[in-house]
Amino acid sequence: MTRSTDQTNPANLAVDDNAPTVDPENTDFGFYYAAFRQAGDAERTINVRVVPFIMPSTRIIPAPSQYYTVFETPTDDEGTSTYIVIHGKAPVDRSRVKALLGLDDTRCWSEEDCDFKPTWAERFGQDRKRMTENWSGLRGVEQEDAVISLSMGPIFDRSKEHLVPADRAVVRVRQRLLEAARAVEQGGDPVGVGVDLSDVGAPDVNVAQDSNWRTIVPHHGIPTTTGQTVRELLKLAS
């Protein structure tokens, strides 16, 4: 199976490396998390894909020709509403995006109620035969994300989870949310209040291994920012 070549697909990775090293970095709006993937010249350059997490529930995900700003907004203790805003170099084709996300199948989702319908009762609509072409057996990025989340149940017992290195961003989300809750409890403002977000970016670029990836998103770091190079971070993760 090869990576997607669709320029509008947020799952379109610049390089074929499905095991990135992840480095989160706190910012005044929440944090950035950078994923490092081996580029063509593994000794000199590395691909860095940076996703900002804007408190309390927003990400900007880069695709080659578009950006997906995703709002994961809690509606109650067991439900979340997802809103996606897309912009980029070309006009957005709504029907194409729905197909790309797997939301063009009315058995899964419809604009009448905007509810995600698959459940464990029908194995979330997974097609095992399609797994020879698509590892998940599902149709689209949003289907995959929703199924992964829903398969854990309404409220997951985190004492039973098994985090891996790629989950560093998940851990950082929890830390920042707890910090924000404590700040409010003490009469202060949560992280991100009053921050100008107009220059928050989500670059996906190749950089020299001897560079500091933070220089490509220089405007929102906080004083704890480190000076480690990409090469040093990769060595620590190995």
pLDDT for 10: 73
CA 11 vs. chain centroid, Å, equals 10
Q: Residue 130 has what DSSP assignment?
A: G
pLDDT band at 2 (very low <50, low <70, confident <90, very high): very low
The structural domains of the chain, with segments of one domain joined by +, span 21-194+203-219
Lowest-pLDDT range of 14-18, 75-79, 136-140, 187-191: 14-18
Mean pLDDT of the chain: 88
Q: Which helix (H) or strand (E) holds 87?
A: strand 80-88
How much is the pLDDT for 79?
92
Tokens in use for 87?
């912009």
Angle between helices 141-150 and 94-101 (to 10 degrees): 40
Q: What is the mean pLDDT of residues 152-173?
A: 90
Q: How many Cβ atoms from other residues are within 10 Å of residue 127's Cβ? A: 13
Between these two residues, 106 and 234, which has the higher pLDDT value? 106
Q: Is the pLDDT of residue 194 over 70?
A: yes
Higher pLDDT, residue 32 or 232: 32
Band the pLDDT of 1: cuts 50, 70, 90. very low
* Helix or strand holding residue 73 (H, E): strand 66-74
**What is the phi/psi pair of residue 166, to 5°?**
-70, -10
pLDDT in tens, 45-76: 889 999 999 999 999 999 888 999 999 999 99
108, 123 contact by CB (below 8 A): no
Place of tokens 């170099």: 89
**H or E element, residue 143:** helix 141-150
Stretch 164-173: mean pLDDT: 91
Closest CA relative to residue 109, chosen from 122, 99, 120: 99
Q: Are strands 45-54 and 30-38 parallel, antiparallel or unpaired?
A: antiparallel
Look at residue 236 in the predicted model and tell me its pLDDT. 64
Could you tell me the pTM of the whole model? 0.87
Residue type, 128: R
Alpha helices in 10-159 (DSSP H): 94-101, 141-150
Q: What is the pLDDT at residue 37?
A: 87
What token pair was written down for 42? 């593994």
Dihedral sign from CA coordinates of 191, 193, 194, 199: positive
Q: Of 161, 109, 135, nearest to 3 (Cα)?
A: 135
**Phi and psi at residue 85, to the nearest 5°:** -115, 125
